[in-house]
Amino acid sequence: MALAMHVHPLDKHLRVKRLPTIFCSGCGIGIALSAMLRALDKRISEGSVNPNKVLWVSGIGCSGRAVLYLNYDVAHVLHGRAIPFAIGAVLANPELKAVVLGGDGDIAAIGGNHLIHAAKRNFDMVVVMITNFIYAMTGGQVAPTTPYGVYTTTTPAGNPEYPLNVIKLVGALNANYVARASVTTPHLIEQYFYKALAMRGFRFIEVVATCPEMFGRHIGLRDSVEMFSELKKRVVYRHRPSLEEAMIDWEKGIVIGEFVERNNPSFIELLRGVKK
């Protein structure tokens, strides 16, 4: 008997011709992406987002590849440079709703200076950073979010550095929204992204994700289900957590929630003279 063809409810958001994705089994990027698409779907069907004005921009890395499957205006640009590319696009056409998607290496290491300045400007964009604790695309080197002591291919004696607290960094600047969710809580990714889409200014969502293939192999969690269950155990939801709680600590747990919510004028509003 031939298998019946089913159309996935999110197919209309995808370049279906391009599927399947390159992602490994157990990779969290797909979970994050489908949660974001459900949120976007809701926004589009309620009429608050025009799909023709949505622009997805990503740099280089596994996380960056996700935008290539999206049936929107998409750009897969240089490693670390998605934010300035999106800034140029939005300044040239302020009707665009830019979403930048990238790994923590892309957004917070090589692209870190752009992240700081985009947040400082409260620039009109949503940035979603997928934190998988490792440089996945390049084969398992240390990332800005790699926990202390972990073996990676470039820290064979264990990571001598403590991870970068990107939530605290962005929260200390002028970002209007700073939240963290996990691929083990897809409903929160959806909820935060849905909310962020309707806000103004700089909106930052960190999504903690599984990477059994690269990070998992370094910490003895190569099995997808085991990696997922381990992460799920370590993720702690807090209502309105403080920035002090945002430090990534694999042992003590990773706090998720909405860290910062403000409603300050965005860069483009300020440029136009709007002060409130």
| CB 77 to another protein: min, Å | 5
What is the binding site for ligand TPP (CB under 6 A)? 60-63, 79, 103-106, 130, 132, 134-138, 143
Contact with another protein (CB under 8 A) among 8, 18, 232, 252: 18
186 binds, among ligand TPP, another protein, none (CB under 5 to 8 A by kind): none
| CB 100 to another protein: min, Å | 11
| CB 261 to ligand TPP: min, Å | 26
Q: Does 8 bind another protein (CB under 8 A)?
A: no
221 binds, among another protein, ligand TPP, none (CB under 5 to 8 A by kind): none
Contacts to another protein from residues 64-123, by CB under 8 A: 68, 71-78, 81, 83-93, 95-96, 113-114, 116-117
| CB 203 to another protein: min, Å | 18
Q: Determine the interface stretch with another protein among 39-47, 54-62, 169-177, 257-265 (rule: CB under 8 A).
A: 54-62
138 binds, among ligand TPP, another protein, none (CB under 5 to 8 A by kind): ligand TPP
Side chain identity, residue 51: P
Annotate the chain with three-state secondary structure: CCCCCCCCCCHHHECHHHCCCCCCCCCCHHHHHHHHHHHHHHHHHCCCCCHHHEEEEECCCHHHHHHHHECCEEEECCCCCHHHHHHHHHHHCCCCEEEEEEEHHHHHHHCHHHHHHHHHCCCCEEEEEEECCCECCCCCECCCCCCCCCCECCECCCCCCCCCCHHHHHHCCCCCEEEEEECCCHHHHHHHHHHHHHCCCEEEEEEECCCHHHHHHHHCCCCHHHHHHHHHHHEEECCCCCHHHHCCECCCEEEEEEEEECCCCCHHHHHCCCCC
- Contacts with another protein, residue ranges (CB under 8 A): 15, 17-18, 52-53, 55, 57, 60, 68, 71-78, 81, 83-93, 95-96, 113-114, 116-117, 271
